Amino acid sequence: MALCTGILHPTCNRLNSDMTEPNPSGNPGSEENVPPALAESSQGAIKSEASAKPAPTDAGMPDGWERATLETLALAALTEQRQARRWRNGIRLAWLAFLVALVWLGMDRGAGTADTSTPHTALVKIEGEIASGSEASAELIVSAMRGAFEDKGAQAVVLLINSPGGSPVQAGIINDEIHRLKALHHKPVYAVVEETCASAAYYIAVGADKIFVDKASVVGSIGVLMDGFGFTGLMDKLGIERRLMTAGENKGFMDPFSPQTEKQRVFAQAMLDQIHQQFIDVVKKGRGDRLKETPETFSGLFWTGQQAIDKGLADQLGNLDYVAREVVKAEDLVDYTRKDNVAERLVKRFGAAIGEGSVHALRLAPTLR
């Protein structure tokens, strides 16, 4: 075996020739005959050849598996990030759509959406207590009536009433607006009573040209009341002292925890009588010669629909469909009633309504109806 080449030092060439000659001892290639320097050189060459060989790969694993694994992990992480981003964007879009719908519904006051260009009967509903802030408030009713009167397709306006009454102020505003709109647009107005048309509701109804009732409807209650509570006797029994300080002799007038003087009672009664007389004047003006007045007419009593017709408080029997078909001659109905929007209803239902109901239930101050 040659360990040196011809290009090396001549000494190395002599070693090569010595190694090719027969060994006199009969042991060719024996390590004892190899010079120490040559042995060390041979071992270094062998180690260099061994280190130059590539390291064997893991058993059964193809080349480049590490790169493939890293790519797979990177793709999985990227996919997860995309899914999370899509969820966030989806939730944001859903909230945006909800807010847009809420705003749109908030702008919608519940007016009729039917075709108003063709001849039809305009409908305005008056339901529940007539009071500021309610669905039968003057603000909403007057706005609905204006829309109905201004519509050229409306042949007449029908007030569909089902109310036990309420504020004389709100009723007076609606009654005055009925007369103004009739004179301005020259359209007839009919009141149709369903269950009840009492007190302030009848105050509104007498502004119509005719009042139609069911034979079992409740009509009338032409009167005014102011109610409240007095706890002075109970407070005396319980040993509770009311400490009320006022600037003005009658500033604590109608305070439920303070005694009522005769002077204050007379004053309150005079005020009620004046409002009652206003109510009477409105009824007489609206009913005219049709009213058959008796001592009980303005006493606060109420009657059935048939009795109301007999007393001249109503004109004839009839429901909404009958009036639209037989009186107005326009069977198509378009509802112009304004109502609280969705946002307002949610607030009232889940928040304000609870507090409002509690205050209303515990209200001690007198109310005028």
Residue 44 reports pLDDT greater than 60 = no
Is position 143 within any domain? yes
CATH of the domain at 306: 3.90.226.10
Confidence of residue 82 (pLDDT cuts 50, 70, 90): confident
Residue 57 reports pLDDT greater than 60 = no
Is position 163 within any domain? yes
| Structure tokens that stand for 202 in this block | 């009848």
Residue 109 reports pLDDT greater than 60 = no
Is position 3 within any domain? no
Closest CA to 125 of 113, 137, 115: 137
Amino acid at 296: E
Is position 2 within any domain? no
Residue-level pLDDT at 237: 82
Is position 19 within any domain? no
Which residue would you say has higher pLDDT here, 342 or 290? 290
Pick the range with the lowest mean pLDDT from 50-64, 65-79, 215-229: 50-64
Residue 31 reports pLDDT greater than 70 = no
User: How many domains is the chain built from?
Assistant: 1
Residue-level pLDDT at 100: 81
The domain in which residue 268 lies consists of: 120-244+253-368
Is position 227 within any domain? yes
Sign of CA dihedral 274, 279, 282, 284: negative
pLDDT in tens, 148-199: 999 999 999 999 999 999 999 999 999 999 999 999 999 999 999 999 999 9
Closest CA to 203 of 188, 212, 191, 185: 191
Is position 101 within any domain? no
Pick the range with the lowest mean pLDDT from 70-84, 111-125, 211-225, 305-319: 111-125
Residue 34 reports pLDDT greater than 70 = no
Which residue would you say has higher pLDDT here, 131 or 229? 131
- The reported pTM is 0.65
Average the pLDDT over 298-316 and give the result: 96
